[in-house]
Structure 1
Amino acid sequence: MAEIQPIRGWRYGPELSPRIDQLVSPLFDVVSPKQREALYQNPLNSIHLSVPRGADAAGAARARLHEWEQAGVLRQDELPGIYAYYQYFRLPGSSREYCRKGFMCHIKATDWTENVMLRHENTLPGAVDDRAELLARTEFQTSATHGLYRDDAFELEPYLDEAMRNPLYETEEDYQGARDVLAVIQDVAVIRHFQRVLAARPEVILADGHHRYEGSLVYRQARRAAAGAAYTGHEAWNYHLMYLTNAAADDLRILPTHRLLLDLPGIGTPAELLGRLEPYFTILPLEDPYGLPERIAGKPWAFGLYLGEGEAYKIRLRPEVHAQLDWPTTPEVKNLDLTVLHYFVLEKVLGIVGPEAQRQWPGVAYVRNFPECLTRVDRGEARAAFITNEVSMAEVERVCHSGAVMPPKSTFFYPKTIGGFLFSSIADAETTAPFYDAFRAAE
């Protein structure tokens, strides 16, 4: 069961709220070096807390946090609440405006083995250690991870809609083109209803933020070990800031991430690559490379292949060879398009054997922008681009429930949450706040 708690959120003060567009930032794992440098120029931008820099980056973040608290740059809300967070966005080529509805709160950080929080990808130890150190030094959560619960009855959305009638602030347009709106629910009865709805769910799927969540686990384990017999399980550092959205909603979008091959080991010409693919795939030449996404849309185990100078193909796995896929994983993972691509292209054709070797191989780049894939091949920056379909929410759920993980960079939930909208503290002082006991009594 998922255990959530309201928080007394930390936010930019009312004097700065009108400038919120200048204060928010992309998440640490999607912000580009160019974006970072531009954001660092603003001394009040949230990136100084979420992606600090310097020889002692975590120490710099801690010092800046204390400075901002003392100066009133950041202020803590007086009452606990659950924070409604809506993101309005459009997809390329469509005039429809989507609205992803969700809310931010604290959720108890449970170990993977407890099967309350389900993951669908592996993490990199270095990135986890970085997040854990930042959390240990600041005791401050700078950006919410993204979790999914399933509620086909949509019980919580009416309360979120009501809160949105009085927003705290909103962006005009964030770095990815979305409009973000934040509101708060502080009604005790409504908050307890949220707790009951989440407690009735057997699990939450972690959509985005695996490194930040695992960083919370590492920090929690260290604090628990240090507490010894005094540990209660109610300490504020047991909790993690999460943005929760309903997996049943149709505004939950997962965009494809294409594979750009920077190198083709042992392969000299495009004709040789096609020859090595032919035993596994049917190969259909196409005249217009820009039509590749439409030609593969909705077709299982189908991919676009671009080799430069207008040379494009639709390739599709021969069904009879799928049984050759002998990686030790679940059927749910074996059926994924990207597993097929990684096994039959990276392993069988290119000789990069096994998921771990492929994760470490520098010859592949993960690119979300389709035209960028074609451009980089034409420029000679890459030798081939494999265009993929998006992963469905149903596939994500099936893989998570199977207990396995997907190939790297399988999902790109869009839009990403932004940093700087809401912060939360897990310092010891939060544990003794009167409302903690009140909401624990509602469990």
Structure 2
Amino acid sequence: MAEIQPVRGWRYNPALSTDIDAVVSPLFDVVSPRQREALYQNPLNSIHLSVPRPEEGLAPAAAAARRLAQWQAEGVLREDGLPGIYVYYQYFRVPGEPGRERCRKGFMCHIRAYDWAEQVVLRHENTLPAAVNDRAELLAELQFQTSATHGLYRDEDFELEALMDAAIEDPLCQTEEDYQGARDVLAVIQDAQLIRRFQQVLAGRQVILADGHHRYEGSLAYRQARELAAGPGGSTGREPWNYHLMYLTNAASDDVRILPTHRLLLELPGGLTEAEFLARLAPYFTVLPQAEAQDLPELMAGKRWAFGLYLPGGAYKLRLRPEVHAQLDWDTTPEVKDLDLTVLHFFVLEKVLGIVGPEAQRNWPGVAYVRGLAECLQRVDRGEARAALLTNEVTMAQVEAVCHSGAVMPAKSTFFYPKTLAGLLFSSLKEDDANALFNGYFTELLP
């Protein structure tokens, strides 16, 4: 189903690659304002391309285009001589597993930018038009992809892992430790027959988009604009702008981790007191006081429709009363209705707090999304939030079930960990003779 093609990648030159930690950056939607300002201080950091800022009267995208042209002319970025599949491993530890190092194995390539209706690339969340437009504008200005989105395919036979394991023994570059504590290693496979095997494995599979919905939709918008400009019969479908840079990992691996994203209630609408809030929860949930808030994740773990609640006055375990679940009348699929987060959003945000419907909840400023337990508890203790609602993580099986049902999850349902980095690999969408030399050969290799 999914057509992938090797990439003739652009990378930092060897001198800069030896200190790759100094030039990589977090993705545009996870980099904090403080991180961003610190990274801007390095004139060669990839943040200047992926999250540009205005410079000398130029709009952000134009400033990034000028800088990209300078970097290419000066040899800061260089294009590899041959196309390849870029193997990308991330070694990391999960909170709660201090003695175990995991490795998420994957590879970066070009994938055809499929419309959602084609059911080849599947989504699990909605996007914000402003963010999509921002990514599409940057892509149109640069004709250069500054970071790979993250997609998931399923291969129970793990056929490609042996090929990737062999390649990673000869890395192109590696970080010592990135901003999230992971070690990132990049290698490349340029053997045409091995690339063909990657193409054949993906040709029989759908891809679930794990991270990067806005960047992927930005690629779709750019491709559609180029098609419109070319007119009927004016394009072959093989132009570089038909493709999107994606990092693909095997959903069957136990090292594809999804961390929970908790909800902080910054306010209780209508001036609700804590006692009134608890009283409103009681018709829908069993509410059990707990001695220690730190114990809530363990008490919730593995239990359906179970949550933790932390208030200045104490900690509570919440469990939905099974008989009330039938009241969940949102127009969505059974797979979405079964999710813990759907239950939380419907019965707490809508029924208890009166924020009616997914769209109103997405736009409500009274909720914040936080990943760490400690931060949740501290912000309640400091008076920055009225309550913390703690959740279990979404499972890979649930993500797949929702995607195949054709629906989307509530906002901020998944946090795939660790996040990929910007700056390890770039790809050009410009049409040029040098890249075209390889196109026909690898197209012929498709089954």
TM-score, normalised via structure 1 length: 0.99
1:333 match: secondary structure = helix
The 1:427/1:195 distance shift into structure 2, 3 A limit, reads same
User: What corresponds to 2:111 in structure 1?
Assistant: 107
How many Å apart are 1:66 and its aligned residue?
0.3
Letter in 2 for 1:410: S
* 2:289 is equivalent to residue 285 of structure 1: yes
Letter in 2 for 1:281: F
User: What corresponds to 2:175 in structure 1?
Assistant: 171
* 2:399 is equivalent to residue 387 of structure 1: no
Letter in 2 for 1:137: E
User: What corresponds to 1:57 in structure 2?
Assistant: 60
TM-score, normalised via structure 2 length: 0.98
User: What corresponds to 1:24 in structure 2?
Assistant: 24
User: What corresponds to 1:375 in structure 2?
Assistant: 378
The 1:171/1:432 distance shift into structure 2, 3 A limit, reads closer
How many Å apart are 1:350 and its aligned residue?
0.5
* 2:397 is equivalent to residue 355 of structure 1: no
**Is the contact made by 2:8 and 2:435 (CA closer than 8 Å) also made in structure 1?**
no
**Is the contact made by 1:143 and 1:420 (CA closer than 8 Å) also made in structure 2?**
yes
User: What corresponds to 2:338 in structure 1?
Assistant: 335
Give the counterpart of 1:197 among 201, 206, 224.
201
1:197 match: secondary structure = helix
RMSD: 0.9
**Is the contact made by 1:88 and 1:180 (CA closer than 8 Å) also made in structure 2?**
yes
The 1:250/1:188 distance shift into structure 2, 3 A limit, reads same
Distance in 1, Cα, partners of 2:347 & 2:357: 11
**Unaligned stretches of 5+ residues in structure 2:** none
* 2:434 is equivalent to residue 422 of structure 1: no
1:265-280 alignment runs, 5 A limit: 265-280=269-284
**Is the contact made by 1:236 and 1:430 (CA closer than 8 Å) also made in structure 2?**
no
User: What corresponds to 1:398 in structure 2?
Assistant: 401
How many Å apart are 1:207 and its aligned residue?
0.2
Letter in 2 for 1:69: Q
Moved over 2 A (4+): none
How many Å apart are 1:269 and its aligned residue?
1.4
User: What corresponds to 1:295 in structure 2?
Assistant: 299
How many Å apart are 1:28 and its aligned residue?
0.2
**Is the contact made by 1:286 and 1:313 (CA closer than 8 Å) also made in structure 2?**
yes
**Is the contact made by 1:148 and 1:207 (CA closer than 8 Å) also made in structure 2?**
yes
For residues 115-155 of structure 1, what are the alpha-carbon distances to aligned partners after superposition, in whole Å with 9 as ceiling and x for unaligned? 00000000000000000000000000000000000000001
User: What corresponds to 1:82 in structure 2?
Assistant: 85
How many residues get paired?
A: 441
**Unaligned stretches of 5+ residues in structure 1:** none
Distance in 2, Cα, partners of 1:388 & 1:30: 20
1:242 match: secondary structure = strand
Distance in 1, Cα, partners of 2:210 & 2:181: 20
Distance in 1, Cα, partners of 2:372 & 2:43: 31
How many Å apart are 1:93 and its aligned residue?
2.8
For residues 58-104 of structure 1, what are the alpha-carbon distances to aligned partners after superposition, in whole Å with 9 as ceiling and x for unaligned? 00000000000000000000011000000000012311000000000
How many Å apart are 1:429 and its aligned residue?
1.5
How many Å apart are 1:408 and its aligned residue?
0.2
**Is the contact made by 1:2 and 1:108 (CA closer than 8 Å) also made in structure 2?**
yes
Give the counterpart of 1:133 among 111, 133, 137.
137
How many Å apart are 1:340 and its aligned residue?
0.1
How many Å apart are 1:268 and its aligned residue?
2.7
For residues 179-218 of structure 1, what are the alpha-carbon distances to aligned partners after superposition, in whole Å with 9 as ceiling and x for unaligned? 00000000000001100000011x1000000000000000
User: What corresponds to 2:262 in structure 1?
Assistant: 258
**Is the contact made by 1:235 and 1:431 (CA closer than 8 Å) also made in structure 2?**
no
Distance in 1, Cα, partners of 2:253 & 2:102: 11
Distance in 1, Cα, partners of 2:81 & 2:133: 33
How many Å apart are 1:15 and its aligned residue?
1.2
For residues 276-303 of structure 1, what are the alpha-carbon distances to aligned partners after superposition, in whole Å with 9 as ceiling and x for unaligned? 0000000100000111111101101000
How many Å apart are 1:325 and its aligned residue?
0.1
Distance in 1, Cα, partners of 2:395 & 2:435: 43
Distance in 1, Cα, partners of 2:357 & 2:331: 10
Distance in 1, Cα, partners of 2:282 & 2:19: 56
User: What corresponds to 2:253 in structure 1?
Assistant: 249
Distance in 2, Cα, partners of 1:139 & 1:370: 41
Percent identical: 73
Letter in 2 for 1:317: L
**Is the contact made by 1:376 and 1:382 (CA closer than 8 Å) also made in structure 2?**
yes
